[in-house]
Structure 1
């Protein structure tokens, strides 16, 4: 006995003919794909295309008919298109499918544009209010701890109210996560220290040198890179050096913090690939949520030791400087919430686009953040400083292009083998 889960827009008479294997079907084309439940990767209301499933009496999915016109969010393209009864195909049905595919592409492009816009906007808001808070309360260890705390609370709310699937935590997973969480902690606190000592734009220029550390450390661990990749890091080094020499707000502590942040995040990425390969059932957002919680446990005890004795006095000075406690609370709250949100949006974007497109988008994001913070804080920028920043960022673009070609070559080689 077969039960049907059908959309009212489908002709029941056509699907009735699938009840018997001996009777030929009149459907000219079926979009065949694996049935998927609600996509919990998008807790903010972005959902995949709903599918229509034909099930047997045991409720085992036989096939899934995707309805492109009912798309309300991101979706994967159907895995295959099975032509059934191609000799009796109807041109009108083909044209309808073509129109549906065009609508699906437009919807996906629009949704992806929204995610990119949110990613950029949230990053700008974080950088602005993070710097505002640090200007009146120059204690980056406490502020960095609060930002991890805000992200941890956000993920716990999503998991508790089942807005996002809670990951299956095991002892081997926690052990494998200890290293990446430690390096993430180092990268995050070092960046916050840098933000507290120099202009936001200068920190971001130095952080654009992250590919240099990635190539060097990966090469030391046995990876090989083509000449184009090595050449692409030269303008990054030259641009960052020129920007540092001509930076008005130059501070050795700020430069060191940005450099250490690059090292921390590069080691986090390398260590994650080596230690978390057997835990592919944990998606990107859950992985980042777990890293945030562990990083908070790493960071906060050290923060108390490093600067805890100055927090009360610094708090009173901050309130006196701002004027109203609510304004200071608002700045700190926005820095914490938007720190997590922009990382969440970046994972959503990475899940839908190629690494190359993501790298280009990340490079442009850095440009937008630099320009925005310069305009907001009115930091003086010398011509040579602007030139060095542009050269460094252009170098990161060349690096993303070169590494993308390297990955294509490696994938092609694996297929041939």
Structure 2
């Protein structure tokens, strides 16, 4: 089953690939087999080498390190290496190091996007155009990768395009609503409100027939309480900013739900290619509407922005970084999910939101009241409890499926 996750990233928990173990009858050892996807966040040379040497769905070690079998002694215990460390321990250390780098990139790229996106919106308060450019930058990025064969190009079919129409539409709604919120209130406040996305997910899924244990319902209570307290005490409170963040939550939740129903038969298309296709289709949705909504103000707003910044190159730099890093941090989130469980990813995503909130408060020096900070902390903690409760629910469901 394929789904989407970025928040504004797509729901990557549904794209977590199952790893299996195959037995080698001649060497009495297990080889880890998983679906590999070339990294596109660590440099073009890595992408080119990976795409040239491996097919789209190659059976190799996703961490990039060789998986070697260990010899078994007569007693059944593995023989240690001369330095006293087993191959498994070395591979684990290397994998942890790589995950640390991936998480670092993911957090760093998200922080850069939020900072320069807000800088651009402060002098050019036209989120529809800026959101369109961010989708445009991601579309151009993917087209370059596909054209120069730096990343495998997906096989596009008419049924796939039709199935993609709904998720891309809801992704467009979620993205533009978040940008509108960023333009009206502090970045930290928008992220606090967006932490309430699990509330909408539970409510909408319940209406569609899904059932949740009591622990999940209890976990959304601190989210609601924390967001309410943060909203009441927010210095930069704006009704448009609040409603934009709430609509963004609704858009991304509906995108995830719709993806489950329409894209589950297209498992051959990996997450990065899926997100690239959605970016292109979302741009087709958004840009014509952006011209209608605020197109008549762009020229005048551009001149005001240049006069405010002083140098045109500075304004161009902010806009360019907001577009490039919006796409990169979403790609890094998928790369992180390839190596960890959905639960670990969910916890990491919660911590990422904390890091972004703290970073933007420090950069823009937004005044934060004690009760506002307390409400934000309660909401984030509720999101953490929700990830724990839903993970237990999935584990129970998986156990029931095995019994049946």
Evaluate the alpha carbon distance shift between residue 82 and residue 126 of structure 1 in structure 2; reply closer, same or farther with a 3 A threshold: farther
The answer on whether the counterparts of 2:226 and 2:374 sit within 8 Å (CA) in structure 1 is: yes
CA distance in 2, matches of 1:229, 1:183: 25
CA distance in 1, matches of 2:330, 2:383: 20
The answer on whether the counterparts of 1:31 and 1:81 sit within 8 Å (CA) in structure 2 is: no
Evaluate the alpha carbon distance shift between residue 54 and residue 20 of structure 1 in structure 2; reply closer, same or farther with a 3 A threshold: farther
CA distance in 2, matches of 1:135, 1:16: 37
CA distance in 2, matches of 1:11, 1:293: 18
The answer on whether the counterparts of 1:180 and 1:271 sit within 8 Å (CA) in structure 2 is: yes
Evaluate the alpha carbon distance shift between residue 294 and residue 376 of structure 1 in structure 2; reply closer, same or farther with a 3 A threshold: same
Which structure is richer in relative contact order (CA contacts within 8 A, separation 6 or more)?
Answer: 2
The answer on whether the counterparts of 2:29 and 2:69 sit within 8 Å (CA) in structure 1 is: no
Bigger mean CA offset, 83-92 vs 151-160: 83-92
1:363-385 CA distance string (max 9 Å, x none): 00000000000000000000000
The answer on whether the counterparts of 2:197 and 2:250 sit within 8 Å (CA) in structure 1 is: yes
Q: Following TM superposition, by how much is the alpha carbon of 1:62 offset from its aligned partner in structure 2, in angstroms?
A: 20
The answer on whether the counterparts of 2:7 and 2:252 sit within 8 Å (CA) in structure 1 is: no
CA distance in 1, matches of 2:14, 2:258: 54
CA distance in 2, matches of 1:185, 1:14: 20
Q: Following TM superposition, by how much is the alpha carbon of 1:352 offset from its aligned partner in structure 2, in angstroms?
A: 1.4
The answer on whether the counterparts of 2:21 and 2:30 sit within 8 Å (CA) in structure 1 is: no
Q: Following TM superposition, by how much is the alpha carbon of 1:306 offset from its aligned partner in structure 2, in angstroms?
A: 0.2
Rg comparison, structure with higher value: 1
Q: Following TM superposition, by how much is the alpha carbon of 1:102 offset from its aligned partner in structure 2, in angstroms?
A: 1.3
The answer on whether the counterparts of 2:167 and 2:255 sit within 8 Å (CA) in structure 1 is: yes
1:37-78 CA distance string (max 9 Å, x none): 9xxxxxx3599xxxxx9999999999999899xxx7367898
List, as ranges, runs of 4+ consecutive aligned residues in structure 1 with deviation greater than 2 Å.
1-37, 44-47, 53-68, 72-96
CA distance in 2, matches of 1:5, 1:272: 10
- Structure 2 unmatched ranges of 5 or more: none
RMSD: 10.2
Evaluate the alpha carbon distance shift between residue 46 and residue 75 of structure 1 in structure 2; reply closer, same or farther with a 3 A threshold: farther
Evaluate the alpha carbon distance shift between residue 390 and residue 27 of structure 1 in structure 2; reply closer, same or farther with a 3 A threshold: closer
CA distance in 2, matches of 1:265, 1:36: 25
The answer on whether the counterparts of 2:21 and 2:33 sit within 8 Å (CA) in structure 1 is: no
- Secondary structure of the structure 2 residue equivalent to 1:3: coil
Q: Following TM superposition, by how much is the alpha carbon of 1:219 offset from its aligned partner in structure 2, in angstroms?
A: 0.3
The answer on whether the counterparts of 1:198 and 1:254 sit within 8 Å (CA) in structure 2 is: yes
The answer on whether the counterparts of 1:190 and 1:258 sit within 8 Å (CA) in structure 2 is: yes
Evaluate the alpha carbon distance shift between residue 115 and residue 74 of structure 1 in structure 2; reply closer, same or farther with a 3 A threshold: farther
Equivalence for 1:213:
200
1:311-366 CA distance string (max 9 Å, x none): 00000000000000000000000000000000000011112111100010000000
TM-score, normalised relative to structure 2: 0.83
Equivalence for 2:30:
29
The answer on whether the counterparts of 2:219 and 2:385 sit within 8 Å (CA) in structure 1 is: yes
Paired residue total: 399
The answer on whether the counterparts of 1:125 and 1:338 sit within 8 Å (CA) in structure 2 is: yes
Equivalence for 1:41:
none
Evaluate the alpha carbon distance shift between residue 164 and residue 177 of structure 1 in structure 2; reply closer, same or farther with a 3 A threshold: same
Evaluate the alpha carbon distance shift between residue 364 and residue 65 of structure 1 in structure 2; reply closer, same or farther with a 3 A threshold: closer
The answer on whether the counterparts of 2:12 and 2:333 sit within 8 Å (CA) in structure 1 is: no
Q: Following TM superposition, by how much is the alpha carbon of 1:16 offset from its aligned partner in structure 2, in angstroms?
A: 40
Evaluate the alpha carbon distance shift between residue 325 and residue 282 of structure 1 in structure 2; reply closer, same or farther with a 3 A threshold: same
The answer on whether the counterparts of 2:188 and 2:361 sit within 8 Å (CA) in structure 1 is: yes
- Secondary structure of the structure 1 residue equivalent to 2:368: coil
The answer on whether the counterparts of 1:209 and 1:396 sit within 8 Å (CA) in structure 2 is: yes
Evaluate the alpha carbon distance shift between residue 84 and residue 377 of structure 1 in structure 2; reply closer, same or farther with a 3 A threshold: same
Evaluate the alpha carbon distance shift between residue 180 and residue 248 of structure 1 in structure 2; reply closer, same or farther with a 3 A threshold: same
1:112-132 CA distance string (max 9 Å, x none): 110100000000000000000
CA distance in 2, matches of 1:11, 1:321: 38
Bigger mean CA offset, 26-35 vs 223-232: 26-35
CA distance in 1, matches of 2:4, 2:309: 64
1:158-182 CA distance string (max 9 Å, x none): 1111111000000000000000000
Q: Following TM superposition, by how much is the alpha carbon of 1:91 offset from its aligned partner in structure 2, in angstroms?
A: 11
- Structure 1 unmatched ranges of 5 or more: 38-43, 48-52
Evaluate the alpha carbon distance shift between residue 150 and residue 238 of structure 1 in structure 2; reply closer, same or farther with a 3 A threshold: same
The answer on whether the counterparts of 1:150 and 1:340 sit within 8 Å (CA) in structure 2 is: yes
- Secondary structure of the structure 2 residue equivalent to 1:31: strand
- Secondary structure of the structure 2 residue equivalent to 1:32: strand
TM-score, normalised relative to structure 1: 0.81
- Secondary structure of the structure 2 residue equivalent to 1:83: coil
